[in-house]
A and B are shown apart, each in its own frame.
Chain A
Amino acid sequence: MSTSENLTPARPLLEIKNLEVAFKTQNGMVKALKGVDITLMPGKTLAIVGESGSGKSTTAHAIINLLPGSGKITGGEVLFDGKDLSKLSQKEIQFIRGREIGFVPQDPMANLNPVWSIGFQVEEAIRANGIAKGRAEVKKRAIQVLKEAGLEDADKRMKQFPHQFSGGMRQRVLIGMGLSSSPKLLIADEPTSALDVTVQRKILDHLETLTRDSGTALLFITHDLGLAAERAEQLVVMYKGRVVESGPSREILQNPLHPYTQRLVAAAPSLASRRIQSGRQSVVAAAGTPLYAGAADAGVTESIDLVSAAAARAEQVAHTPAAGNAIEVRDLTKIYKIRGAKGDAKTLKAVDSVNFSIARGTTMALVGESGSGKSTVARMLLRLEDATSGEIRIDGVDTAPLAGRELLNLRRRMQPVFQDPYGSLNPLRNIGNTIGEPLDVHKVGDRKSRRARVFELLDQVSLPRTLAGRYPNELSGGQRQRVAIARALSLKPDMVILDEAVSALDVLVQAQILRLLSELQEELSLTYLFITHDLAVVRVIADNVSVMQGGRIVEAASTDEVFGNPRMEYTKELLDAIPGAHIPLGV
């Protein structure tokens, strides 16, 4: 891209002007985009960053006129090579799609038709765009496309179906299809957010090489500011259907001017971990906010700034004297019996001789990619599943033989918060009953005192008391997660198992919940086991880290040590995969 400087024509490849999109709902037309301007020059990369509901994906779909049924472009224009795409006929836009604008969708699991083979779906794209003609020719080209996308054994796998491919492989297929006709523009809508970090990194590297080699401009959509800044020259920050800030990536990162961008910078775990690493202070404080020194916003930004949250936490832990181990795990192993591909019985060692201990009042993070066995460990700790062998000691007591009253006592002292905010609350029970249920089961106090406790818990997680009579579907993901935390805290436990508890949340909300967790830990001297796939978050919340791979703990040390001096290759790879690891920060 650096060589194309003097070749760049004056005309932008894509120019979105004042784009407005509305969706038809029961309450009339609701505007999703309220005047969006984006300019992308040929061969350049641009990233649109925003939280869910910001309109970033809607923008992507509007460009190629693939809004869902109820969506409509209600104003503005989408100039591509000088043509307004929003005014083209079905036939004309169909000609542009695939041929001139490639599209890589978000969820590789849902974007390939399950009933057709991979080869069929790639060949279909090639034929539609007139890249090759004739059976043999099309097939040859399809294999070539897949090989370029990184599927080495493409010729053998052409006849296989999507469900026989891993997520990463499917995403490679989708990238291959998107680039099959060397389009001038490739739109990639969160192409890797469903994948493990190490896979994500490889695929993005590959995508970068491919687009650079073919001179394809890349419009990249992501929720991760660090990723955006690392992968794109230009940034567009969107918020509630508008562009709040746009410009050169590095400049925006180093000098965010809009308060919303400042919030994002303060809350992005990838950047925070990087900032902590370089031992610098909060970016917001340093930037001095030349344009809007909005005092009103300072408090909010403060509350979601991960760096200051981490610093406050570190200080608090340093003052708490170590008081022995709350949790000790020895040689914990879990073997599942599964049915093999040929219908024969097989065993799967999900957890393999795992050892760790967590000191009272501290946080240990258990980090690993999907299938590493980290959640199985959590379920065994919570006695939701029995270990095949090994020992779990809580305050020195082996939990395996506990039953009845004793098991209830264990449950009272150790509570979980799970990942999926939409699945963790019973949709038919109101918030008050959900939070109060543990009190009810453990027969704590009478009706009146339970009610008082529910209100107290709502206060603790900063939710209004009026929510007690409401149902989960009225709450956002972050608010549901607060309710789940309140439920976990209702019995005043000593230990909380947080199984990917913040992974499904938007960055700002995630930062807020992380902050809340830190405060609660300090206030109630809680011991946390924090299970996550996201090393960046670990930097902010954990004292110690254990890295899991294939059921085993491959590295365990204090957070500083793991980040500063990783010993295992796998840990290095994980650290390296944190987006934004290579961006210099101007602070």
Chain B
Amino acid sequence: MPRYILGRVLQAIPVFLGTTFLIYFMVFAMPGDPLLALFGDKTPNPALLAQLRAQYHLDQPFLVQYWYYMTGIFQGNLGVSFSGEPVTAILARTFPVTARLAIMALVIQSVAGIAVGLVSGLRKGKLFDASALVVSLILISVPIFVIAFVAQFVFGIQLGWARTTVGSGAPTQDLILPAFVLASVSFAVIVRLTRSSVIEAQSTDYVRTAYSKGLGRNRVIPVHILRNSLIPVVTYLGTDFGVLLVGATITEGIFNIPGVGNTLYKAIVLGQGPTVVSFVTVMVLLYLVVNLLVDLLYGLLDPRIRYV
């Protein structure tokens, strides 16, 4: 296992360098003045422009710029936002809110998704399974902002069960509806993934052998069928984190939740290019870290990876 962890961490380094380089390249190696391009049709305040020029070392060659940028990241310096506030300060304020929302969504999608997928797989072809398949397909097809509006309209406006926008301080009960919205797409994917893994596991030789040893269903299903079906689901949670980040941006924007996603959302809507780049970078770094953790979790779940 230590070797596996080390290997994974070492593998993550070139990817980390590559992704940051790629983002940096996209922004600053384009022809013309990158800062003016980022401000689009807006005219930036000259003081801010000067500060940004200094921050990104635009007078230096491209690779030197990148070098300064990277050393900045390692020193915890993520630059300043459009308003001149350090990005790290904004993160400190907004990250806890997003973390709460994301964890709620993660719990909802994993617990509900695995449970529904398991029952569906065990009752293949029955009514429950058929309905779960249809519902999951619909949830996968409807874009998250449409789901968010439907939820706002039905639960907020028509039924009045929840507030359509989140109150100040983002109290947890206000986050319940957005968390469900955020969880919906991944919930559907997890249902389908769990279902097909469960169906596959049920026909494996080792499950038959488990029954032949005299084990009952209430032992075989959790220990041999579900346990093995979790491996692909956990792997999926890694890739899914990207969906979650984009989803959080849109959901936080629509429900006006003061989180990281909302900051990005506002920056995009207001056309504040440099802030957009800073926050996308933060999200990509987060995504890399989460995927590294998922890889390690995968090693824990699958002994064939752990002990080569």
Contact = CB atoms under 8 A, between A and B. Distances in A.
Interface of A: 61, 64, 66, 68-69, 90-91, 94-99, 102-103, 105-107, 110-117, 124-125, 128-129, 160-161, 163-164, 174, 177-178, 181, 341-343
A102 B223 CA distance: 21
A29 B232 CA distance: 34
Top 4 closest pairs, chain A to chain B, by CB: A98-B214, A103-B212, A110-B205, A125-B213
14 contacts: A68-B208, A90-B216, A97-B214, A98-B212, A98-B215, A105-B209, A106-B205, A107-B205, A111-B206, A114-B304, A115-B231, A128-B215, A163-B304, A164-B307
A115 B214 contact: no
Interface in B208-225: 208-217, 219, 223-224
A124 B208 contact: no
A353 to B, nearest CB: 31
Interface string B136-149: 00000000000000
Contacts of A117: 303
A112 B214 contact: no
B301 interface: yes
Contacts, number: 96
A209 B133 CA distance: 52
A102 B209 CA distance: 10
B47 interface: no
B interface secondary structure, majority: helix
Q: Most B CB atoms within 10 A — which of A102, A116, A129, A181? A: A116
Contacts of B53: none
B14 to A, nearest CB: 18
B3 interface: yes
Given A66-B212, A114-B304, A128 B227 contact: no
A94 B227 contact: no
Contacts of A116: 223, 227
Contacts of A163: 303-304, 307
B203 interface: yes
Contacts of A103: 209, 212-213
A111 B204 CA distance: 8
A259 to B, nearest CB: 35
B196 interface: no
A124 B308 contact: no
B202 interface: yes
B77 to A, nearest CB: 36
B33 interface: no
Contact of B211 (A66, A91, A115, A174): A66
B216 A161 contact: no
B3 to A, nearest CB: 7
Nearest to B216: A94
A57 to B, nearest CB: 11
Contacts of A129: 213-214
Interface in B266-308: 301-304, 307-308
